[in-house]
């Protein structure tokens, strides 16, 4: 973990305000790994040091882990007991990482963005059906669906778990330039689908219901977070900006928002809309 100023680490541990922690350091009351530290500019790695104040240890809060994974096809998206011993997304995590769990699911034959974390609260907000956060997928079908089929998809179709909620779907001429697809079929027509619910094998059931079975299914985005250029089988830690964006979405998205009349937009469409707004505004910088 990156080093941070000592007073910031102490404040995060609940010792006091950052100003109060600075005063404790200046007064010679703080030791790091047994060594007296009185300089306010000192930096420490909170996961690698023992801090004491007046001889009493400071118990540092353990920071959560957040990892993005590009799940390939043929890798299990859950971590239940598998009698066949097939690889799971956890096998893609760096060796030695402490226990994490997948956020949501992707079936064996689907691919794309998954998150691994030990932050149960954020995982709950991202996956519980009542929060209805958007997820964007690219779906390959054999032929272009007609307008009536697309309209049926948008209205909702009957699934084994009940009728689906309204969803967004559109035909796209190309995939995002940064998307690194793994091996698999590419011939056909790509659809961009945005869902706010996550019934089991939902997209596959929905495309089959309108007469266009899914040939390939790639999750591209969870809210504002996209797969970017991550290659199949690769992982990367979420940046602070990524985590902030997810938390902001969770904070701003009220439960039941999908029941409102606001149209569903994909992450790529939303970025384009914002860019157009900035270009139109004479005050944009």
Residue positions annotated with a catalytic role: 107
Name the DSSP class of 88. Answer: B
Say if residues 125 and 131 touch (Cβ distance below 8 Å). yes
Residue whose entry in the numeric block shows the structure tokens 């001429």: 173
Helix, strand, coil tally for the chain in percent (to 5): 25, 25, 50
Please give the Cα distance from 151 to 192 (Å, whole number): 14
Distance of CA 194 to CAs 132, 164, 197, 254, 256, Å?
11, 12, 9, 18, 16
Task: Round to whole Å and give the CA distance between 166 and 36.
Answer: 62
């Amino acid at each position: 973990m990156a080093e941070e100023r000592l007073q910031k680490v102490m404040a995060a541990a609940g010792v006091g305000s950052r100003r109060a922690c600075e005063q404790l350091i200046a007064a010679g009351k703080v030791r790091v790994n047994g060594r007296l530290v009185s300089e306010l500019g000192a930096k420490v790695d909170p996961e690698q040091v023992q801090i004491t104040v007046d001889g009493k240890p400071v118990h540092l809060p353990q920071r959560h882990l957040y990892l993005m994974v590009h799940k390939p096809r043929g890798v299990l998206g859950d971590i239940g007991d598998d009698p066949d011993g097939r690889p799971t997304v956890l096998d893609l995590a760096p060796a030695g990482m402490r226990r994490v769990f997948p956020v949501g699911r992707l079936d064996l034959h689907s691919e794309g963005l998954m998150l691994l974390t030990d932050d149960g609260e954020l995982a709950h907000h991202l996956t519980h059906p009542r929060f209805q956060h958007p997820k964007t997928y690219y779906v390959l079908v054999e032929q272009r669906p007609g307008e009536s089929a697309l309209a049926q998809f948008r209205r909702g179709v009957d699934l084994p778990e009940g009728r689906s909620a309204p969803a967004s779907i559109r035909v796209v001429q190309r995939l995002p330039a940064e998307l690194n697809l793994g091996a698999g079929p590419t011939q056909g027509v790509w659809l961009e689908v945005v869902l706010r619910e996550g019934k089991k094998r939902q997209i596959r059931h929905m495309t089959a219901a309108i007469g266009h079975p899914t040939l390939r299914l790639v999750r591209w985005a969870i809210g504002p977070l996209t797969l970017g250029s991550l290659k199949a089988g690769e992982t990367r830690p979420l940046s602070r900006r990524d985590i902030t964006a997810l938390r902001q979405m969770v904070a701003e998205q009220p439960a039941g928002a999908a029941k409102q009349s606001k149209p569903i937009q994909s992450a790529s469409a939303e970025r384009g809309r914002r860019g157009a707004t900035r270009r139109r505004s004479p005050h944009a910088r």
